[in-house]
């Protein structure tokens, strides 16, 4: 998935519902293999720096299914001494509600440190964990960071003028044919429309907003009920029509209709060509079905649940290739680009169908328009270090 919106597909997946997408919600899909240790080398951020010998000899390399974890001194991690670690601790506490193999014994200490100072948290990390540079098993170029977010949209419970774009729950006969009807067939074939009748959850005003929601996988929806009451709900991922994802941004580029395939670039083309919206959207046959989740009134809603089965934390959760980094792993992330510069602790708590590769991450930017603006533009180089118990 490429997080220039509509270049690639992502879905936030949920506990008990992702077996067909990413496998069962277990902490690690493979047992790591230990190799011989590599000698300590100077810091990646300062070629003239001396190795950090205070932490003792480095352990062996760890081989995952799709990556090599090379042990490094703590001095290799850029920003370790300045990151506001307390901002990452809520995400770590979430992972401890479903601890991965190897982490259950440390989770009581992680909970105790939730209110500690950043210096004490940093000291604990250095004492209890080892940093490993995540590398591809074969020579590869730079890693890639993209970003995703949770849209916040207005909707009506019943169709009316100006709100006639439905979002659907799972059809009863979804498994009767695989793949199911395409996006275009769902809007034009009588049989498909009949199968969807009664499955409408809410109605949006804009078909492009519906596409955004399909790609991001979940959204916060301000729903106006039939009696005029308003309430906030979450529409969460429940399944798909099993059709392949095809990027409408890629189609626009191939047709030489745009040069900027970020969401703002796509939106500008749509604004200039309103009569071609269906033509554009039908290029992507894949459709997501949703389930409605109630939210507690008067509280800030938690993030959507990722593939680990825990709520995501804005700015501190990432989606990864689980063959490279197991769910629940704390990861040091470094990325510099025109949109954002990041040197921080994050937690691997989600995945996506196109999050593939050893050094690949999708950064959860949060909810709403500001997060969407960032997510729509982030596509930049990436370095990752996995932090693992000693």
Sign of CA dihedral 335, 143, 1, 331: negative
Answer yes or no: is pLDDT of 349 > 90: yes
CB atoms within 10 A of CB 17: 18
pLDDT at site 353: 78
pLDDT band at 354 (very low <50, low <70, confident <90, very high): confident
Q: What is the DSSP string of 306-344?
A: -TTSSB--TTTEEEE-TTTS-TT-EEEEEEE-SS-EEEE
pLDDT at site 265: 87
Tokens encoding 198: 């009664």
The 10s digit of each residue's pLDDT in 62-105 is 999 999 999 999 999 999 999 999 999 999 999 999 998 889 99
Which pTM was predicted?
Answer: 0.81
pLDDT at site 31: 36
Query: Cα–Cα distance between 79 and 50 in angstroms, integer?
Result: 17
Segment 109-123 shows an average pLDDT of 96
Region of poorest pLDDT, from 33-47, 213-227, 236-250, 329-343: 33-47
Of all residues in the chain, the percent with pLDDT exceeding 90 is 76
Segment 362-375 shows an average pLDDT of 94
The 10s digit of each residue's pLDDT in 374-390 is 998 899 999 999 999 99
Answer yes or no: is pLDDT of 152 > 90: yes
Query: Cα–Cα distance between 21 and 41 in angstroms, integer?
Result: 39
User: Does a cis peptide bond (omega within 30 degrees of 0) precede residue 191?
Assistant: no
The 10s digit of each residue's pLDDT in 199-231 is 999 999 999 999 999 988 899 999 999 999 999
Task: Note every long-range contact of 257-262, with CB atoms under 8 Å and residues 24 or more positions apart, other chains counting.
Answer: 261/4, 261/6, 261/7, 262/4, 262/5, 262/376, 262/377
Answer yes or no: is pLDDT of 160 > 60: yes
pLDDT at site 55: 61
């Amino acid at each position: 998935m490429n997080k220039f919106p509509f270049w690639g597909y992502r879905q936030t997946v949920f506990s008990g519902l992702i077996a067909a997408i990413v496998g069962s919600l277990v902490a690690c899909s493979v047992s790591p293999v230990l190799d011989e240790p590599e000698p300590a080398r100077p810091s990646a951020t300062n070629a003239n720096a001396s190795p950090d010998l205070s932490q003792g000899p480095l352990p062996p390399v760890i081989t995952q299914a799709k990556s090599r974890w090379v042990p490094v001194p703590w001095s290799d991690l850029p920003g370790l001494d300045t990151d506001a670690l307390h901002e990452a601790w809520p995400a770590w506490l979430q992972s401890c509600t479903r601890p991965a193999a190897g982490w259950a014994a440390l989770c009581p200490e992680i909970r105790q440190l939730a209110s500690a100072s950043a210096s004490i948290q940093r000291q604990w990390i250095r004492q209890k964990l080892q940093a490993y540079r995540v590398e591809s098993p074969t020579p590869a170029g730079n890693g890639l960071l993209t970003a995703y977010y949770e849209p916040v949209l207005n909707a009506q419970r019943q169709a009316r003028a100006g709100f006639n774009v439905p979002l659907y729950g799972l059809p009863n006969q979804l498994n009767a044919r695989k793949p199911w009807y395409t996006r275009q067939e769902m809007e034009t074939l009588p049989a498909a429309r009949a199968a969807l009748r009664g499955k409408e959850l809410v109605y949006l005003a804009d078909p492009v907003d519906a596409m955004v929601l399909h790609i991001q996988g979940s959204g916060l929806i301000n729903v106006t009920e039939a009696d005029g009451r308003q309430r906030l709900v979450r529409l969460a991922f429940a399944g798909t029509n099993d059709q392949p994802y095809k990027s409408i941004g890629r189609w626009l580029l191939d047709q030489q209709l745009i040069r900027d395939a970020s969401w703002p670039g796509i939106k500008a083309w749509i604004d200039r060509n309103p009569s071609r919206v269906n033509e554009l959207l039908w290029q992507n046959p894949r459709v997501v079905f949703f389930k409605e989740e109630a939210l507690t009134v008067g509280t800030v809603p938690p993030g959507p649940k990722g593939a680990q089965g825990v709520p995501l934390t804005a700015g501190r959760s990432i989606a990864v290739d689980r063959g490279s980094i197991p769910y629940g792993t704390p990861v040091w992330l470094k990325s510099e680009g025109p949109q954002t510069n990041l040197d921080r602790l994050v937690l691997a708590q989600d995945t996506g169908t196109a999050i593939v590769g050893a050094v690949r991450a999708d950064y959860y930017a949060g909810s709403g328009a500001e997060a969407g603006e960032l997510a729509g533009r982030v596509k930049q180089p990436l370095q990752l270090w996995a932090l693992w118990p000693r």
